């Protein structure tokens, strides 16, 4: 028996979410917004909490500073049943804090800082991610996975144990990488899940099928393109699946992709076929977007199944 169902490796961040920001100042130094909130975030946090809610035994391998922001994040993870024993706490670097501006349509823009560029070394802790049924790389091309050597070492160690690797992506910020820079790692990634903008950035293609073909040509086994309001598209060597988005009132799309990933991986682990897992993931992402905050709306697996039956 594996110690964990899913180990997430990625960034833990404290998110300051500003919804309904009005760019017209009310004074020389003052602006207004509809609301503001503080939430534990980052792809690793979002995914591990969501998967725990879905009934998975989940752990997060990340770094946190020895500061108040780190304490808040670790407490939030523990509250939702995520195993926090893999978290690396250090006084050398602060916990990253992100300010996110959420527009009326749910789209968002974020402000990062140098704390987000700290590359801790998950490859130095193989015992923490090789006793599991699945490994999720939260943000390929962002720290700590903006170092080709780190990427190769982590996916190699998981691959050597027969553990499937799922990789979400982000457009690089502090260090630029291309698919060619990590070519020797891509064949060890079982599923890659960029959104449409990320897929366009990395492939230069505009159509989902062409984007997927470009990733497959580099060796990735399965490609899922997240298309926002147009659903999602999966392609591998045997099949193509396009699912339409659920009709919802979008409040905040922050974390929807992370909830999507948690839903997909959890159902694959449960033995679902790819289409069923994709449908479940599609519902998880939609539910997430119906409330402010990355982990507010999703409650448990039964909620997702009821949501799917109601469609």
Residue linked to tokens 């994709």: 278
Question: In angstroms, rounded to a whole number, what is the distance separating the alpha carbons of residues 37 and 281?
Answer: 26
Asked if 106 contacts 251 with a C-beta cutoff of 8 angstroms, the reply is yes
Task: Look at residue 106 in the predicted model and tell me its pLDDT.
Answer: 67
Q: φ and ψ at 286, to 5 degrees? A: -65, -45
**Residue among 127, 122, 136, 132 at smallest CA distance from 3:** 132
Instruction: Please tell me the predicted confidence (pLDDT) of residue 84.
Output: 98
- Interior CA angle at 88 toward 125 and 166, to 5°? 55
| Model pLDDT, residue 1 | 85
Delineate the domains of the chain, giving CATH numbers in brackets. Answer: 4-22+32-303 (3.40.1190.20)
Q: What is the 3-state secondary structure (H, E, C) of the chain?
A: CCCEEEEEECCCEEEEEEECCECCCCCCCCCECCEEEEEEECHHHHHHHHHHHCCCCEEEECEEECCHHHHHHHHHHHHCCCECCCCEEECCCCCCEEEEEECCCCCEEEECCHHHHCCCCHHHCHHHCCCEEEEEEEEECCCCCCCHHHHHHHHHHHHHCCCCEEEEECCCCCCCCCCHHHHHHHCCCCEEECEHHHHHHHHCCCCHHHHHHHHHHCCCCEEEEECHHHCEEEEECCCEEEECCCCCCCCCCCCHHHHHHHHHHHHHHCCCCHHHHHHHHHHHHHHHCCCCCCCCCCCCHHHHHHHHHHC
Contact (Cβ atoms closer than 8 angstroms) between residue 5 and residue 132: yes
Report the distance separating Cα 305 and Cα 176, nearest Å.
40
Q: How many CB atoms lie within 10 A of CB 129?
A: 26
Locate 5 and state its tokens: 């169902």
State whether the Cα torsion 268-243-42-19 is positive or negative. Answer: negative
Residue at token pair 């500003």: 18
What pLDDT score does 252 carry? Answer: 80
Give the pLDDT score at 23. 82
pLDDT for 205: 97
Distance CA(153)–CA(21), nearest Å, equals 42
pLDDT of residue 202: 97
Q: Per residue of the chain (311 residues), give pLDDT as tens.
A: 899 999 999 989 998 888 888 888 899 889 899 989 888 988 999 999 999 999 999 999 999 999 999 999 999 999 999 999 999 999 999 999 989 887 777 677 888 888 887 878 999 999 999 999 999 999 999 989 999 999 999 999 999 999 999 999 999 988 889 999 999 999 999 999 999 999 999 999 999 999 999 999 999 999 999 999 899 999 999 999 999 999 999 888 888 999 999 999 999 999 999 999 999 999 999 999 998 777 889 999 999 999 999 97
| Residues contacting 98, CB < 8 A, separation 6+ | 13, 14, 15, 16, 41, 42, 110, 111, 112, 116
pLDDT tens for 271-290 read 999 999 999 999 999 999 99
């Amino acid at each position: 028996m594996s110690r964990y169902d899913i180990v997430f490796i990625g960034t833990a961040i404290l998110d300051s979410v500003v919804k309904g920001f009005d760019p017209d100042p009310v004074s020389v130094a003052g602006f207004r917004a509809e609301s503001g909130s503080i939430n534990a975030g980052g792809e690793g946090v979002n995914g591990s909490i969501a998967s725990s809610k879905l009934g998975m035994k989940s752990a997060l391998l990340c770094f946190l500073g020895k500061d108040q922001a780190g304490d808040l994040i670790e407490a939030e993870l523990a509250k939702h049943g995520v195993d926090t024993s893999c978290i690396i706490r250090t006084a050398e670097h602060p916990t990253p804090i992100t300010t996110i501006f959420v527009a009326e349509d749910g789209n968002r823009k974020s402000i990062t800082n140098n704390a987000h560029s700290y590359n801790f070394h998950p490859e130095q802790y193989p015992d923490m991610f090789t006793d599991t049924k699945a490994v999720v790389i939260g943000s390929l091309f962002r720290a700590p996975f903006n170092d080709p050597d780190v990427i190769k070492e982590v996916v190699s160690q998981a691959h050597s144990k027969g553990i499937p690797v799922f990789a979400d992506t982000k457009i690089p910020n502090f260090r630029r990488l291309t698919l060619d820079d990590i070519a020797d790692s891509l064949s060890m990634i079982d599923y890659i899940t960029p959104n449409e903008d990320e897929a366009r950035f990395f492939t230069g293609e505009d159509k989902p099928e062409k984007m997927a073909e470009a990733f497959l040509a580099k060796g990735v086994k399965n490609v899922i393109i997240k298309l926002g309001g147009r659903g999602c598209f999966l392609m591998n060597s045997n099949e193509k699946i396009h699912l339409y988005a659920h009709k919802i009132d979008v409040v905040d799309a922050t974390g929807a992709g992370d909830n999507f990933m948690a839903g997909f991986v959890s159902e694959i682990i449960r033995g679902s076929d790819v289409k069923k897992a994709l449908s479940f993931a599609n519902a998880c992402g939609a539910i997430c977007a119906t409330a402010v905050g990355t982990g507010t709306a999703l409650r448990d697996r039964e909620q997702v199944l009821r949501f799917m039956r109601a469609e």
